[in-house]
Amino acid sequence: MIGAHIFFFIFIMWILIIAGGGILVLLVAPITISGFGELDSFISSSIKAIIAIALIVAWIIILSKIKNRMFLKRITS
């Protein structure tokens, strides 16, 4: 089937986005910072935002690497 590898790639994208959601909800969301007074919620929000952005960047890098490897394998075979 033409393009079967892309269906597989999209499936990986789907798994990674669900797993990423799990990491955000289960591990990142409960993070709380204390000891900074009124800035507590701002600092913990900022930390969560930075982790979330890092996860998105990681998602893009992982998928780019898989995509490039998949393409090079196809074109050289």
Partner 1 sequence: MQDHILIAALVSVIAFFSVYIITPYLIRFLEKRNLTVKDFHRKGGATVPRLGGVSILIGIISSELVLFVFFPITEIIVILITTSLAFLVGLVDEVTGLKKFIWFKPLALAGAAIPILLLGTFDSNLVFPLFGSIKIPLLYLAVVVFIIPITGNTVNSIDVLNGAASGFMTIASFALATSLFILGNYEIAIACLPLGFVSLAFYKYHKFPSRIFPGNSGALALGGMYGVIAIVGQVEIIAAIALFPAIINIFYLLSRMKRIKDREKKSKPVTITDDFKLAATNYKDAPITLVRLILARGPLSEKQVVSIIFKLALFAAALAIITTFMMGVRL
Residue closer to partner 1, measured from CB, 21 or 36: 21
Q: Distance between CA atoms of 25 and 42, rounded to whole angstroms?
A: 18
**Does 52 contact partner 1 by CB under 8 A?**
yes
CA-based nearest residue to 13, from 43, 56, 51, 52? 56
Query: How far does the chain reach from its first CA to its final CA, in angstroms?
Result: 16
CA-based nearest residue to 58, from 8, 11, 7, 24? 24
Q: Distance between CA atoms of 51 and 6, rounded to whole angstroms?
A: 29
**Does 62 contact partner 1 by CB under 8 A?**
no
Residue closer to partner 1, measured from CB, 35 or 75: 75
Q: Between 13 and 32, how does the x/- string for binding to partner 1 read (CB under 8 A)?
A: xx--xx--xx-xxx-xx---
Write out the residues near partner 1 by the rule CB under 8 A. Answer: 2-3, 5-7, 9-11, 13-14, 17-18, 21-22, 24-26, 28-29, 42, 45-46, 48-49, 52-53, 60, 63-64, 67-68, 70-71, 74-75
